[in-house]
Structure 1
Amino acid sequence: MNYCGIDLHSNNSMVTVIDETDRIVAERRLPNDLTKILDFLAPWKEGLAGVVVESTFNWYWLVDGLQATGFHPLEAALLKDAVVLKLARKVKMRRCADYMSAFPRSTPSRVRVRQADRWYEHEITSPVGDVGNAMSWQQTEEKYRDLTSRASSSTRAQTERVIHACVALAFDLDRPANEFIRELR
Structure 2
Amino acid sequence: MGLDIYLRTDNIDEIYDLLNENEAKYSLSRTFCNFMCRRNVLENHEAELDQIGAITNVDISPIYDMENYVEEEELEYYLETFDTEDEKQENRISVEYDRKKLEGNIDIVLTTISSLISKLNSINSIQNLLIKTDFDTLNNDVYFSDFESNKGDGYINNNFGHDLRNFKLFLELAKQNNATTVWFMYG
* TM-score over 0.5 (shorter chain): no
Short-chain TM bin: under 0.3
Specify which structure has the higher proportion of helix.
2
Larger radius of gyration: 1
TM-score (norm: length of structure 1) = 0.23
Specify which structure has the higher proportion of strand.
1
TM-score (norm: length of structure 2) = 0.23
